[in-house]
Structure 1
Amino acid sequence: MSSIGSLAGSIQLVRNWKGSCVFPDGNAARLSGRRSAKRDVLFVRTGWKSGYRLRAVGGKTGSGGSLEGEPEEKKDEADDRAHATIAKSKQVLKMQSTLLDQIAKRKNLVSSLMSETSEQPKESISEVEISDASTTEPPTEISEQSDGYSTGSTSDNRTPIITESKPVESKSTPPESVTIKGRKSPEQVKQGTKAPKVEKVVPKPVKEENLGTATKTVEKPKIVPPTQEENKIEKKKSVVVSESNASEEEEKDSGPLAGVNVMNVIVVAAECAPWAKTGGLGDVVSALPKALARRGHRVMVVVPKYGNYSEAQEMGVRKYYKVDGQDFEVNFYQEYIDGVDFVFIDSPLFRHLENDIYRGQGQDILKRMVLLCKVAVEVPWHVPCGGVCYGDGNLVFIANDWHTALLPVYLKAYYRDNGLMQFTRSVLVIHNIAHQGRGPVENFRITDLPEHYLDFFKFYDPVGGEHCNIFAAGLKAADRVVTVSHGYSWELKTVEGGWGLHDIINNSNWKFHGIVNGIDTLEWNPRLDVYLQSDGYTNYSPETLETGKAHCKAALQQEMGLAVRPDVPVLAFIGRLDYQKGPDLIAEAIPWLVSQDVQLMLLGTGRQDLEDLLKRLEGQHRDKIRSWVGFSVKMAHRLTAGADVLIMPSRFEPCGLNQLYAMVYGTIPVVHAVGGLRDTVVPYDPFSNSGFGWTFDRAETNKLIDSLGHCLNTYRNYKESWKELQMRCMSQDLSWDVAAQKYEEVLVAAKYQW
């Protein structure tokens, strides 16, 4: 008890106190105590004489007296008094809560001090246990000379050190400090201000021989308030971070535009720009898949490999197919562009046709198309684009024109009739119904189809009699049928516009849709057009239309060898030279045109008699007419940019793309109101100041002259109205994104059709 008695006069207790002590004889004890009005009671929890109760005798501890020990079993009276003091202890809880908050703020200081004291012997380290708190504080020495924190150890005077959880501020200066960032308080977070900088003390280690006497004090952390500029910078950073996080979350949350309707789509055609193109079909097959891919679909294009496509990579897949009793080896090449897998079919039947992809007699062309469709329908099984095959689930084929109209028939006859590819659908797109793949009934054997499918192909009309019609079979077998404009879809149901297939189309009206084509706004865009970046041409936009188009017009006049006159209207014709496109109507209107002080430029290739006609017109009017026989992509772009008016007198036009290109470049179209031309060119109305060009309702020369007369009158006499007309044309959204969304609706309808 002598060791315990020596504690008298040095113990200062708070209510519900816990602590520990180390005695000179090496014994350690963990203590707890209660304080009352008359005396203080300490309980030995662990170590020396565990289970004893220590009573301060002779007054309050800290003002004289001694300690007596007795077994814990004899504490009945003390327990009664202890219970009585519980009510009073509640008053101290608030003070302890404040104390715990202060301790938590010094958590960083604790870690540095504890790392130093960990080098001392375990016997000399005092432990601190604070009830209802998880933060550990460094030990402190309670003495009259210092009220600060100090490292606890056993000194030479053999006086035990009792550690206490009461925090005491120090006024001494630390030997060195490190600046760290402080946490933001709730008020600072709300106000957006920068948190203050806190200087953390890192004490120097105490030498081992001086452990008995050395005492380290710690300076109170210095609060460095942020400057006004730092607060502004912090606010700006928080705004930028919050905006970037919001945009990232929006991008992360936003799925594909198609949503749950995402599908695998395989587009099959005989041509695709820029590798093979004879008309608008090649442009559609190139641009539509990219628009579908932007909506989130996985898209493949399957076309023949007619020449040496240097960028295409061989895939190492080899297959054999039988066509008309002969085996043909097929190899596959692939190129990935703008999210689309372009797959090229290499076979002896397709080679060396890059200059004339439809060369040969009817049966020769049919054999090539039979091979194309047989290979294409199995591509999703055999060709691993990106290392993974498309598979036949959630798959839709898009076949184009009669060249690939056999694909829906093969899908039905070879697979779906035999329980395969049950979830694969086919859509057939009509770009020009005038070409139907007609031939004698004997051509049916080339298709390698079961005999009962002959009824799909056998067709009779008053002109051709009984014959084999490939397009007719495709229309019957396809799950959905699409044509390239609303106007053309109406015309196909008439005797004049259906070219003999109007009855089949009317009977399939439930699966028939009209969707206007779009254009590739990256290739056909006056802002980006690569063909307008040399030879005096220039890129332009609606904001620079007046100056930019004038530069292009002057450059075009100079390149074509005509007088550079900004006041003369330039008229252009771009198209295939055949009866459908109506170049003969322009030729009949030449006497009137040359009398109007205009310049006429014609670009195209086709029928030999019409090519000779264009050359003859140029020879007769060298000062006003230029004819470019042949086809040039560069000249098509430059004519579209430099001309003031585009003439399209087509007798029928499923959709037409040149009028769309012209309007994007601010070139005003004058068209025959038929098919897609009726849908896309709204007649100009000077009273309501609306419309995009001029139209005529019959393919006759006098109707064409009448519309051109109104157009030239507006150009010469109503400059402001002409400029507004150009701006309206250029402000339209003619991209494929609009059409792709409508195609997607058709694909979904086909997907759920049974």
Structure 2
Amino acid sequence: MKNILFVASEAVPFIKTGGLADVVGSLPKYFNKKEFDVRVMIPKYLCISDKFKSQLKYITHFYMDLAWRNQYVGILETKYEGIKIYFIDNEYYLTGDKPYGEMFTDIEKFTFFSKAALSALPLIGFKPDIIHCHDWQTGLVPVYLKDRFYQSEFFSGIKTIMTIHNLKFQGIWDLKTTRDITGLSMYYFAPDKLEAYGDANLLKGGLVYADAITTVSHTYANEIKTSFYGEHLDGLMNARSNVLTGIVNGIDYHEYNPETDSLISKNYNLKNFRKEKVKNKIALQEELGLEVNPKKFMLGIVSRLTDQKGFDLIAYVMDELCSLDVQLVVLGTGDEKYENMFRHFDWKYHNKVSANIFYSEEMSHKIYASCDAFLMPSLFEPCGLSQLMSLRYGTVPIVRETGGLKDTVEAYNEYEGTGTGFSFTNYNAHEMLHTIQYAMHIFYNRKREWNKVIDRGMAKDFSWKASAKEYEKLYHNLTLN
């Protein structure tokens, strides 16, 4: 039996700001229970809902030195869907109405969390073979393990994995402050360790000291070795490419299942989607005040409205897009310029464009189930989950070939009769527009072919099962060495 501990700053259903929480909360359930005892450790934020806090059981507490002070560390636990979850408690660091705030307080908060996570292990009677760390918030775990914990017999032989969910976020602060807070010696603040461009970089520390590095798709693992995607760490990613692998994320196939989803108007499956799926479209057209027409090509977007997600491309051709025989349904919040742009086009083309500038889990499910196609023209996309959800619901993805989008959406080839979606290569607004027009041409003029694209997409398996098998292989290899 191998013991694995996930250490992360968030996990569903307890606390979530992004895709990281989905991975940490969902993936552990899918490992082979006979071979792996997988547990999770996260901070006990004050903003976790009382419903969950009331289920936590106190284990013990201790005091730990950090940043000139002796800090209280409480350890609590609960079991959720068969997985043991540990919570690190400290009211000084973990107050506030959201998990992240100012970078300065975050650096100290997650330095505390990383050190406390390691310090807690002997007290909970769980010695991991592997500590699986996620993003910069846990970047100091591999560093501390090699530093002050290395001498202790309990910690000998523990391996670490660092998973990058988005290389853009690195945990950067000035050297002096970081040295004072972490208590690490000058030795660690050299260019081949935590120092980067005159500052301290917590993610870099984790990437230097981890025994293995993963990221959330095969293509993104290659992209981050280039200067365009590498966020100034491409040199390090190349240097460590021998221990870098890409494993694509999955989605929860119980939660995202058109056959049983209670949030959509009409349930359907791979066998009957030709008749039943369109009933969701009609219901959504009625709900949003769009022209009710089952034959109209409906394009969906569920996203943060930011440059990273390709909204500058959409803005550039929005008038041209609205002149086509199309309906556009948008859900999400983000940059004010994009929020206002969609509001404007909703006003200008009210029976064609529906701008829903908020976030709603229920509405997102309705869009995945109702639309004919789903647009994701991202500048970069480490993995992306929306395209996996749209494939699951028989909504054809139209994506730019980057990161996880390239790995999970196979471009339609009309000559070979293959593909699960439509894609374009260059970050170019008119290339995107032509791809949308090509998809519309197949939808309107070659309906049988369109339905076969849906068939192939819905038959794909992007559940966590496949990802878990890849991680199991990695864990085996790591514990052999």
Asked whether the equivalents of residues 582 and 650 of structure 1 are also in contact (C-alpha less than 8 Å), the reply is: yes
Deviations 1:145-193 (A, max 9, x none): xxxxxxxxxxxxxxxxxxxxxxxxxxxxxxxxxxxxxxxxxxxxxxxxx
Moved over 3 A (4+): 293-296, 349-354, 417-420
In the alignment, the residues of structure 1 paired with residue 461 and residue 96 of structure 2 have an alpha-carbon distance, to the nearest angstrom, of 36
1:415 correspondence with 2:187: no
Deviations 1:187-222 (A, max 9, x none): xxxxxxxxxxxxxxxxxxxxxxxxxxxxxxxxxxxx
- Which of 64, 80, 85 is the aligned partner of 1:337? 80
Residue in 1 that maps onto 2:171:
437
Residue in 1 that maps onto 2:42:
303
Asked whether the equivalents of residues 600 and 624 of structure 1 are also in contact (C-alpha less than 8 Å), the reply is: yes
Q: SS state of the match for residue 530, structure 1?
A: coil
1:585 shift after superposition: 1.5
1:734 shift after superposition: 1.1
In the alignment, the residues of structure 1 paired with residue 313 and residue 159 of structure 2 have an alpha-carbon distance, to the nearest angstrom, of 43
With over 3 angstroms needed to count, the CA separation of the structure-2 counterparts of 1:500 and 1:594, relative to structure 1, is: same
- Which of 316, 324, 329 is the aligned partner of 1:596? 324
In the alignment, the residues of structure 2 paired with residue 349 and residue 402 of structure 1 have an alpha-carbon distance, to the nearest angstrom, of 21
**TM-align CA RMSD:** 1.8
Percent of aligned positions with the same letter in both sequences? 32
With over 3 angstroms needed to count, the CA separation of the structure-2 counterparts of 1:673 and 1:559, relative to structure 1, is: same
> What amino acid sits opposite 1:444 in the alignment?
R
Asked whether the equivalents of residues 485 and 654 of structure 1 are also in contact (C-alpha less than 8 Å), the reply is: yes
In the alignment, the residues of structure 1 paired with residue 209 and residue 16 of structure 2 have an alpha-carbon distance, to the nearest angstrom, of 27
Q: SS state of the match for residue 542, structure 1?
A: coil
1:275 shift after superposition: 2.4
1:703 shift after superposition: 0.8
- Which of 608, 612, 622 is the aligned partner of 2:350? 622
1:274 correspondence with 2:4: no
TM-score, scaled relative to structure 1: 0.61
Asked whether the equivalents of residues 132 and 161 of structure 2 are also in contact (C-alpha less than 8 Å), the reply is: yes
With over 3 angstroms needed to count, the CA separation of the structure-2 counterparts of 1:611 and 1:524, relative to structure 1, is: same
Q: SS state of the match for residue 265, structure 1?
A: strand
1:346 shift after superposition: 2.7
Asked whether the equivalents of residues 266 and 302 of structure 1 are also in contact (C-alpha less than 8 Å), the reply is: yes
- Which of 183, 195, 206 is the aligned partner of 1:448? 183
In the alignment, the residues of structure 2 paired with residue 504 and residue 589 of structure 1 have an alpha-carbon distance, to the nearest angstrom, of 38
In the alignment, the residues of structure 1 paired with residue 96 and residue 362 of structure 2 have an alpha-carbon distance, to the nearest angstrom, of 22
Unpaired segments ≥5 residues, structure 2: none
- Which of 216, 219, 231 is the aligned partner of 1:487? 219
Residue in 1 that maps onto 2:260:
528
Asked whether the equivalents of residues 122 and 154 of structure 2 are also in contact (C-alpha less than 8 Å), the reply is: no
Q: SS state of the match for residue 497, structure 1?
A: coil
With over 3 angstroms needed to count, the CA separation of the structure-2 counterparts of 1:657 and 1:349, relative to structure 1, is: farther
Asked whether the equivalents of residues 296 and 327 of structure 2 are also in contact (C-alpha less than 8 Å), the reply is: yes
Residue in 2 that maps onto 1:458:
195
1:560 correspondence with 2:288: yes
Asked whether the equivalents of residues 323 and 367 of structure 1 are also in contact (C-alpha less than 8 Å), the reply is: no
In the alignment, the residues of structure 2 paired with residue 382 and residue 613 of structure 1 have an alpha-carbon distance, to the nearest angstrom, of 54
Residue in 1 that maps onto 2:133:
399
TM-score, scaled relative to structure 2: 0.94
In the alignment, the residues of structure 1 paired with residue 150 and residue 387 of structure 2 have an alpha-carbon distance, to the nearest angstrom, of 41
In the alignment, the residues of structure 1 paired with residue 156 and residue 327 of structure 2 have an alpha-carbon distance, to the nearest angstrom, of 59
With over 3 angstroms needed to count, the CA separation of the structure-2 counterparts of 1:547 and 1:329, relative to structure 1, is: farther
- Which of 358, 375, 382 is the aligned partner of 2:100? 358
1:563 shift after superposition: 2.4
1:450 shift after superposition: 2.6
In the alignment, the residues of structure 2 paired with residue 444 and residue 419 of structure 1 have an alpha-carbon distance, to the nearest angstrom, of 26
With over 3 angstroms needed to count, the CA separation of the structure-2 counterparts of 1:528 and 1:381, relative to structure 1, is: farther
Q: SS state of the match for residue 162, structure 2?
A: strand
Q: SS state of the match for residue 442, structure 2?
A: helix
Deviations 1:472-498 (A, max 9, x none): 111010010001111011111111111
- Which of 350, 357, 370 is the aligned partner of 2:111? 370
Residue in 1 that maps onto 2:66:
323
Higher relative contact order (CA 8 A, sep 6+): 2
Asked whether the equivalents of residues 603 and 631 of structure 1 are also in contact (C-alpha less than 8 Å), the reply is: yes
